[in-house]
Amino acid sequence: MNGLARILVTAMFLCGLIASAHARDASEPKAVLVTGASSGIGYKIAEVLAGNGFHVYAGARKAEDLARLDEMHNITAVRLDVTVQADIQAAVEFVRKEGRGLWGIVNNAGVARYSPLATAPIEDVEFTFDVNVFGPIRVNRAFLPLVIESGGRTATISSLNGFVAGPGDGGYTASKFAVEGYTDSLALELAETGVHVAVVEPGGYKTRIRDKLVTEALASAKAGEFDLSDEEREELARYQESNESMKEPDEVAQAVLHLMTSDAPKKRYMVAPNPRQAAVTIRAALERVVQLNTDQPYSYDRDELVALLDELLGD
């Protein structure tokens, strides 16, 4: 265990977080926190987990969403804005007082904004990172003591954009690349705690995030924050319309269910809706390997690369 991990685990022990203050019946449903559960992927994850015997703490911000989630079987709505530390701390205290403990965390809350990185207001990029990257960091730091106590699991919903870059997304791709690195580092830090750290990487599934992205992009352009050409406006319209023909995120929810129930959960769940998106993602990952290896001071020849791939596939 490295120094940082030792400090983290020691601090959690000192706070009395490994020994439970209240004995719990082992027959009780395991509890999982899902952030951003009001719609789309988060809502489907909460619904599937609740339907498969978990008690779900469903995080949302709006009163009407909280009321709707509270009416669902095995779901308790929790007021939770992942950018507000006071909300997070209040949610921790609520979950602790409920007495169920916490088996899992699903960091699903996320945003996307159309704002070109070279010209858009820096506040747009900062907001994207505040939700997509610092949100999971805040939530995990607050709730991990409970998950360590249960020897459970924590996951962040990333995206295939964590491997495949896209233009004009206001830092969305960059934030998802950051989530990939965060997952790897956190997994190493928590390796000796019994907590499994994973990342789920959906492709293009139906979600309200596209409508929000286009609506905000048009509003920002109208306010003069950046210019949109006719071609860009047409592309945004096609992007918005494509949402209706996309698959519901059932496969994403099933991946999370596997993560939370399997005796051998994966570290990464690539959930592509079709073979094309899967192929593009794997190709992008391999292209990065080729770039790292081509005309560099230390490189592998083809046979060595194939041997390395065979070794990794054998793990």
Q: Are 69 and 75 in contact (CB under 8 A)?
A: yes
Tell me which of 43, 114, 172, 205 is the catalytic residue.
172
Split at pLDDT 50, 70, 90, the class of 247 is confident
How much is the mean pLDDT over the chain? Answer: 88
Q: Is the pLDDT of residue 213 over 70?
A: no
Q: Are 106 and 33 in contact (CB under 8 A)?
A: yes
Q: What are phi and psi of 118, to 5 degrees?
A: -80, -20
For the ranges 15-29, 205-219, 253-267, which has the lowest average pLDDT?
15-29
Split at pLDDT 50, 70, 90, the class of 221 is low
Catalytic residue at 172? yes
pLDDT tens per residue across span 141-152: 999 999 999 999
Mean pLDDT of 274-283: 96
| Cα gap 5→152, rounded to integer Å | 17
Q: What local confidence, expressed as pLDDT, does residue 246 receive?
A: 75
More confident residue, 115 or 221: 115
More confident residue, 80 or 245: 80
Q: What local confidence, expressed as pLDDT, does residue 231 receive?
A: 73
∠ CA(187), CA(178), CA(59), 5° rounding?
75
Split at pLDDT 50, 70, 90, the class of 18 is very low
Domains along the sequence of the chain with CATH: 3-273 (3.40.50.720), 284-315 (no CATH)
Q: What is the pTM of this model?
A: 0.85
Mean pLDDT of 222-231: 68
pLDDT tens per residue across span 83-121: 999 999 999 999 999 999 999 999 999 998 877 788 878
Q: What are phi and psi of 71, to 5 degrees?
A: -80, -10
Split at pLDDT 50, 70, 90, the class of 6 is low
Split at pLDDT 50, 70, 90, the class of 8 is low
Residue 133 burial (C-beta neighbours within 10 Å; 0-12, 13-18, 19+): buried
